[in-house]
A and B are shown apart, each in its own frame.
Chain A
Amino acid sequence: MPLYLNDDQKMLQDSAADFMKGEGNVAHFREFRDKNCKDGFSHALWKQFAEMGFTGILVSEDEGGLGLGHTEAGVVLEEIGRNLTPSPFLTTAVAGVEALNAGGKALRDKYFPGILSGDSVLALAIDEGPKHRPDQITMAATREGNGFKLDGKKQFVVQGGSADTLVVAARTSGSAGEDKGLTLFAVDTSASGLSRDSVRLVDSAMAAHVEFDGVVVDADAVIGEVDEGSALLQRMLNAGRAGSAAETLGVGAGAMDITVEYIKGRKQFDTIIGTFQALQHRAAHLYSEMEIARATVLKAQQMLDEGSSKAEMMVSVAKAKASKATSLSVKEGVQMHGGVGMTDEYDIGLYMKRDRALSEFMGDANYHTNLVAEMHGY
């Protein structure tokens, strides 16, 4: 498969680009931020995502979706990143659906209709500390009656406040660091004993601290097999990480574009500052880094879609590389804008804040660099 988008994927890209630019643009983002919306996104826009078919990208055609792959999900996410579109797409339609795809038919029948119609929002309850450490999960799920009782705390549950369902990773046996003993659950946020404290993040997205105080769930809330959730969690993380890398790439590309435009227009010393070699070389270096990140992200998506055994390595490479390139893009962006880059009026700072939050989502560049070393056996 050549490493560029095919004609169908390009058509999807065009329609996603038009949609985000028209309906989910930066002005829309500012509107929802400024009215201090408790959910941080527009439910009407989420319904439109569903009408466009986006929420069903990873859902099979038999089950009413588009039956497409990670490459197509990434195409939509890149446009989300480029326009700073607030939506629960990544947690719901990418990572959430990927987890449910690995679960039983009953769960899919229960949750897919709401996702396909844009009525349902999923959030992921994985992290328990300030850094992403999925191999160190300690939250307990103990057997009780026909099901399980969940006790513990989760944080950085993005869209956790507005979600109707959480995908929760917990330990049914074993201890932190062990592969066996992890189980994934689909938990209704209305469950008794579940409390959420939704907080606004630096990028104006909403994330929740979630406390589970004896939350009882049925056995049919288990996604996959009890104690065998590790591989399933990995599959969900692969989807979420590749998706987040694609969104990050969009943030970096958007920031680079507005910065290059800015230095083509700004004059100092009676000269367009974009004529200065000091800026040209940095802009060209940034272009090079973004191009490499783009190739890496697409490669990881294609490998996931092909079911390659080496996909996990490439996903970590993509997450790290996209994060580093985009971080460079937003930082150079603010610097090259000069004083106005520090103002809320200009958009470049919004890109910087979005990148910061995305980089922490499902592991930052350091985390994935360490994983790459481990996967290489050193």
Chain B
Amino acid sequence: MSDLESFRAETAAWLEANCPPEMRRPVVDESDICWGGKNPTFKPGQKEWMDKMAAKGWTVPDWPKEYGGGGLSRAETKILLQEMGRLKIRSPLSSFGIWMLGPALLHFGTEEQKLHFLPPIARGEVRWCQGYSEPGSGSDLASLQTSAEDKGDHYLINGQKIWTSYADKADWIFCLTRTDKSTKHKGISFMLFDMTNQGVETKPIVLISGQSAFCETFFTDVEVPKTYGDDVSSVVGEVNRGWDVAKYLLGHERSMISGDGSSGATSLGSKFADQYGRDEMGRLDDPMLRAQMAEMDIDVLAFRAMAERFGDTFKANLCHPAQPNMMKYAGTEINKRRHELIMSAGGSEVLEWESDASNGGLTARGWLRTKANSIEGGTSEVMLNVVSKQILQLPNA
């Protein structure tokens, strides 16, 4: 047996032996996702599973061991994820620390910052949120105004962020602030600070889905020390060069959001044919819906091939640096169409907003949630601008 084959066998055996049964059921709603943090709400099995995986470094399998990771190679990480998928095992820990801040620190952070911030992320001890957008700075993010005034040993933060995901539940924030008002892109810094600081307020925003995952976040004379302890800077990368970090992370975020939302799901048409009824030929008993479902199946399978190719070319350094923008555009647009179709197939039953039968309006709320996909992390229109200028090299007006 090759090393990778024995790694696969050992991994599968360990997962089977250690994963609590509750963590092997499909994720139904938000409460089934484990976010960790200082004030966590755990459902049965979640904490046990998070701690067991964290002890092996497998909450962040491809991070180096010294920062709390598993130190796995790319191939081993892929095997771990494959085996978790095969055994229908849930992710032990979800967090913006893992998805966003971690990659930023691994790329731009000092050794002291990595050692200080990464292990608590890996163990699920600190929950992070992302402070990017502002009321007046959406698509034009670099116009952000939240100011960080240099006060010698600390920065004084004043301003407002919006669309801060789970700011009300987060312990710390990675935040873009303006440290130089005389210039646009080169006057932004990437700062890390505690949400329990005096002067930080959060207010959840009620969305059309009835949910409120996003917040408005207000900063009034918040004092952020320049260093934590002796040598851990509160700024990632250089002061005034935070846009470099943000751009790097937006690439990450765009590839992350770009999933078509259908991972592992079987074809929409086969799922709904059972529910909807079939004609004597065994076909979904609504020719127009059947045709739309089949077109969606094709687009989902085609986009999966695209995602595979994007991943392969990205790793081999063969893809255009602006390609994540195209992926984000295409994936989110497909996901929105997919949910339109799910609503159409469900008819009046999925209109129910609170009933037990509708699982509290799960389908409808999910449909409404997808409308944000093509807005958050850069709108579809901004993605198309980037593709047309950077990839197709179309000229500026």
The interface of chain A, by Cβ under 8 A from chain B, is 2-4, 260, 263-264, 271-272, 274-277, 279-281, 283-285, 287-288, 291-296, 298-299, 313-314, 316-318, 320-321, 368-370, 372-373, 376-378
B318 shortest CB reach to chain A, Å = 6
Task: Other than A291-B326, A292-B306, A298-B305, give 20 A-B pairs with Cβ distance below 8 A.
Answer: A2-B312, A3-B309, A4-B313, A277-B397, A280-B385, A280-B394, A283-B388, A287-B388, A288-B329, A296-B302, A296-B306, A299-B308, A314-B305, A321-B299, A321-B302, A373-B291, A376-B267, A378-B269, A378-B272, A378-B293
Contact mask for chain B residues 265-297; partner A; CB cutoff 8 A; 1 contact, 0 none: 011011011000010001110000011011101
Knowing A275-B394, A275-B397, the reply to whether A3 touches B312 (Cβ < 8 A) is yes
Interface residues on B, range: 35 or more
In whole angstroms, what is the CA distance A40 to B269 when docked? 43
A378 touches B278 (CB 8 A): yes
* Number of A-B residue pairs at CB separation under 8 A: 142
A372 touches B387 (CB 8 A): no
In whole angstroms, what is the CA distance A317 to B326 when docked? 20
Determine which of A3, A277, A369, A376 lies in contact with B305 in the assembled complex, contact meaning CB atoms within 8 Å: A3
Contacts of B290 in A (CB 8 A): 373, 378
A292 touches B303 (CB 8 A): yes
In whole angstroms, what is the CA distance A194 to B178 when docked? 82
The answer to the question of B55 belonging to the interface, with a C-beta cut-off of 8 Å to chain A, is no
Determine which of A287, A293, A370, A376 lies in contact with B387 in the assembled complex, contact meaning CB atoms within 8 Å: A287
The answer to the question of B330 belonging to the interface, with a C-beta cut-off of 8 Å to chain A, is yes
Chain A contact residues, majority secondary structure: helix
Contacts of B303 in A (CB 8 A): 292
B315 shortest CB reach to chain A, Å = 8
Determine which of A272, A284, A296, A372 lies in contact with B395 in the assembled complex, contact meaning CB atoms within 8 Å: A272
Which of B312, B383, B388, B395 has its CB near the most chain A CB atoms (within 10 A)?
Answer: B388
B269 touches A284 (CB 8 A): no
Contacts of B3-40 to chain A: CB distance below 8 A? none
A288 touches B330 (CB 8 A): yes
The answer to the question of B384 belonging to the interface, with a C-beta cut-off of 8 Å to chain A, is yes
A378 touches B298 (CB 8 A): no
In whole angstroms, what is the CA distance A316 to B301 when docked? 11
Contacts A/B (CB < 8 Å), 19 sampled: A3-B308, A4-B313, A264-B395, A280-B388, A280-B392, A284-B392, A287-B387, A294-B309, A313-B301, A317-B301, A321-B299, A368-B298, A369-B295, A373-B291, A373-B293, A373-B297, A378-B282, A378-B283, A378-B290
Determine which of B298, B388, B389 lies in contact with A372 in the assembled complex, contact meaning CB atoms within 8 Å: B298
The answer to the question of B391 belonging to the interface, with a C-beta cut-off of 8 Å to chain A, is yes
Contacts of A274 in B (CB 8 A): 394-395
B394 shortest CB reach to chain A, Å = 5
Name which residue of chain A comes closest to B312, CB basis. A2
Contacts of A299 in B (CB 8 A): 305, 308-309
A281 touches B301 (CB 8 A): no
B306 touches A291 (CB 8 A): yes
B301 touches A296 (CB 8 A): yes
Name which residue of chain B comes closest to A281, CB basis. B384
B397 touches A271 (CB 8 A): yes
Contacts of B309 in A (CB 8 A): 3-4, 294-295, 298-299
Contacts of B135-166 to chain A: CB distance below 8 A? none
A279 shortest CB reach to chain B, Å = 8
Contacts of B385 in A (CB 8 A): 277, 280-281, 284
